[in-house]
Amino acid sequence: MRLVVAGTGYVGLVAGVCFAEMGHDVTCVDVDEKKVALMESGVSPIYEDGLEELMRKNFAAGRLHYTTDFRAAYREPDAIFIGVGTPEQPDGSANLSYIAAVCRQIAENVEKDCLVVVKSTVPVGTNDRVEQFIQDFLVKKELRIEVASNPEFLAQGSAVYDTLHAARIIIGTESERAERILREIYAPFGLPIVAMNRRSAEMTKYACNDFLALKISYMNDIANLCELIGANIDDVAKGMSYDERIGANFLKAGIGYGGSCFPKDTKALKFQADKAGYHLRTVTAAVEVNTEQKTRLFAKASSRLISFSHLKAAVLGLAFKPGTDDLREAPSLDNVKLLLEEGADIYAYDPVAEANFRKLYPEGKHGKGSITYVSDCEEALKDANLCFIFTEWKELKEVLPERFKQLMRMPLVYDGRNVYDVKAMKEAGVEYYSIGR
């Protein structure tokens, strides 16, 4: 089928490339000419395992196209997938302005019956408004333009795999025709399809993401209690993982969740609940726990040291998790800000996210402190007074415990991802603080 995907971020680009991989003719639309040129050269604007390989393969095969010409792109496709951003606003609500812009472009340029599919994460009821909005601006009133919901459930760092091997495809429609078209589009994937109405599909996305955020915050809450009463969260999590009712995923304690989904989606669902007059207590608690968790190790270090002024602080890991260069809501941001305010001289290492972090914190002086970027973990650790671990990259895991003792001026390590064994660090002569152990 002839498909168009609006937006080339994590949602749109991955979806478009995977649709092309399944044999559809796909055009990805973006407003940025430089970005389009980059993608046409086979380079992905986002770091995602396996994505560039499929981009080059399907572009060469003539199934994948990129353009800024939305007028031509929206003229005669069979379906248009909307994958633009819905960023968080100050009050926690979702910004739908990008959705609205695409919808108006579609309405003013489409020339044949078409299914518009919203993949972006949107508040419950948005698809109803999208359909009405398109009708309001539709130039050719005789056309049948339906809207469906098709939320994504990919994880950054494994987005391509998650799309091609999804546990299920959620589709929300209001007609048999719309459901039939979506089933035809997804038939080559060979994956289970769960069909429901639009509002249920929109809610399923939030319910899934917020449940996972709840699991993470619950484990962090339990981890904090473990520290106080002498239990080990790693052992607790292992014991829990054998219970099939709980499962083994999302039980790892740390310094909180980040990224483009969990922080935004928990706040957005809380906002929707408040607007509906309902206090969503569990999600509210998850948001509160996560906010406090991010700087828990900084608080420990503050109580241990008289001052951070002129101390060399090694910061290992900047991305919110391994396998991505995404910094959205990354714990490193909160902690680097505090360290600089307190006068620390930061030596930061991240194998992927450094370029994005430099845009926020260029190398050099920042207030009382400074930041320098280095090419490997050991360079960051050399003569450091303390070390913070914010992302569990494999390059970091390869550093042996004794190297902290050998390289650092003060072997003082605050591990927000529980990378190292407590006993091994102690035996290596490292003063080691982690989460829940």
Catalytic residues: 261
Q: Report DSSP state, residue 338.
A: H
Q: What separation in angstroms does the CA of 105 have from each of 25, 59, 82, 109, 145?
A: 21, 25, 12, 6, 13
* Contacting residues for 240 by C-beta, under 8 A, at least 6 apart: 246, 251
- R_g (Cα) of the chain, nearest Å: 24
User: Which two three-digit tokens encode residue 71?
Assistant: 């007028």
Question: Side-chain half-sphere of 370: how many Cα atoms within 13 Å?
Answer: 9
Of 203, 219, 209, 207, residue with least CA distance to 256: 219
Distance CA 435, CA 437 (A): 6
Q: Give the DSSP per-residue string, 169-209.
A: EEEE-SSHHHHHHHHHHHGGGT--EEEE-HHHHHHHHHHHH
Beta bridge partners, 149, equal: 118, 172
* Contacting residues for 325 by C-beta, under 8 A, at least 6 apart: 46, 47, 319, 352, 353, 355, 356
Cβ-contact 330, 320 below 8 angstroms? yes
Q: What separation in angstroms does the CA of 147 have from each of 82, 357, 366, 387, 415?
A: 10, 38, 48, 51, 47
Q: Burial of 345 by CB count in 10 Å (0-12 exposed, 13-18 middle, 19+ buried)?
A: buried
Detail the DSSP E strand segments found in 268-391. Answer: 312-316, 345-349, 364-366, 369-373, 386-389
Burial 196-232 (b: 16+ CB within 10 A, else e): bebbebbbbbbeebbebbbbbbbbbbbbbebbeeeee
